[in-house]
Amino acid sequence: MCISDKEEEVETTSTTSTLTSNTIKEEEEEDDELYLKDIQYQESKHLIIDSHCHIQEDQEMISMVENQSTYPMHCSWLMGTTVEDWDRVDRYADKMGDRALRCYGIHPWFAYQYHPPKELIDQKDNDGQYRIDDKWYIELEKRLIKYPNAMVGELGIDKVTKVKATGKNDLDGQWEVLKRQFKIAVDHNRLLSLHCVQLQGKLLDYFISLPLDQFPKKIALHTFSGKPAMVRSLLKLKDKGTRLYFGISFINLSSSKVLKLIEAIPDDRLLLESDQNTPEYAESSIYKVLVAISKAKNWSIKVSILNTQKNAIAFQNN
């Protein structure tokens, strides 16, 4: 059967597209492995503190850390996102010992599971019945009491995420869950790791509204996506700005303005994050963030590792 000119054009375009796609994939894979060739990184990676990750989600990789000496980083802060995830955090942390920091929180993506929208209360779907959960925060407090160094996180507010059953964003529920976690963090004198998407101004207003005795001792603003001007506004908050740190992860690298953002963050408030859910992806992402930090701050890779490690330790200390 003869192929028409139009069909031939489509076939050629498809072939070209496939070749281009394969080339891009190969380049991405090569880029992902750059950290393996960087001698300075390889010599210093054991000093890295990954201040925000979810590697506990990769339960198959627990065997990798049976022997702690095989784990590449100094310490990983394991961010729990649901009550069920807190169990995974504990299983991983039990293997890691001092190489892991336990963090328990309710992520805004899952806040509806604990404080559903009014229109869903008492309705049923495949996940069961929607109802306000008045037990999750009791469990959170139990774990914080059991582990005196544990953080509260990941918590936050997110303008983009939607509740699947309604197709709508439910900020009211997110705020209720966030405020409860803020109170618990203050009551137990704990650190926070805070997620905020497209609501930096609202978050600033919330910080301003809180009396100082109701403000957590320190907050890591995870994958901070505000503008440099917002960094300055947050730092100017009386008696509160000194408690704020700013995390940069691979997600920030998609912005063309990331270097300007990193430049605006004080050298002693910058935290290094992977925000990844496997050790392998965490390491490759951490390296890419280190490259960006080094460019923005005019530091070497080693200095970037040392400075962010120092900041993470300062964040943890009173």
The strand pair at 128-129 and 124-125 is best described as antiparallel
Note down pLDDT in tens along the chain; length 318 residues.
432 333 332 232 333 333 333 433 444 455 667 778 888 999 999 999 999 999 999 877 766 665 555 677 899 999 999 999 999 999 999 988 999 999 999 999 999 999 888 776 655 555 555 555 678 999 999 999 999 999 999 999 999 999 888 889 999 999 999 999 999 999 999 999 999 999 999 999 999 999 999 999 999 999 999 999 999 999 999 999 999 999 999 999 999 999 999 999 999 999 999 999 998 899 999 999 999 999 999 999 999 999 999 999 999 996
Instruction: Say which amino acid occupies 106.
Output: I
SS3 38: coil
The reported pLDDT for the residue numbered 2 is 32
Strand ranges in 23-164 using DSSP code E only, listed in sequence order: 49-53, 75-79, 100-104, 124-125, 128-129, 151-158
Residue written as tokens 């530091």? 299
Residue written as tokens 């008045």? 134
C-beta of residue 286 within 8 angstroms of C-beta of residue 272: yes
CATH number listed for the domain at residues 44-56+66-316: 3.20.20.140
> How far is residue 80 from each of residues 18, 103, 105, 221, measured CA to CA in Å?
39, 6, 5, 16
Please give the radius of gyration of the chain, using alpha carbons only, rounded to the nearest integer: 22
Whole-model pTM?
0.86
Determine if residue 74 is labeled as part of a ligand binding site: no
The reported pLDDT for the residue numbered 124 is 59
Determine if residue 115 is labeled as part of a ligand binding site: no
The reported pLDDT for the residue numbered 272 is 99
Dihedral of the alpha carbons of 76, 53, 287, 241, in degrees to the nearest 10: -90
Determine if residue 107 is labeled as part of a ligand binding site: no
The strand pair at 75-79 and 49-53 is best described as parallel
Sorted by where each begins, the domain ranges of the chain are: 44-56+66-316
Given its phi and psi angles, is residue 145 left (phi above 0), alpha (psi -120 to 50 degrees) or beta? alpha
The reported pLDDT for the residue numbered 4 is 33
The reported pLDDT for the residue numbered 189 is 98
Determine if residue 188 is labeled as part of a ligand binding site: no
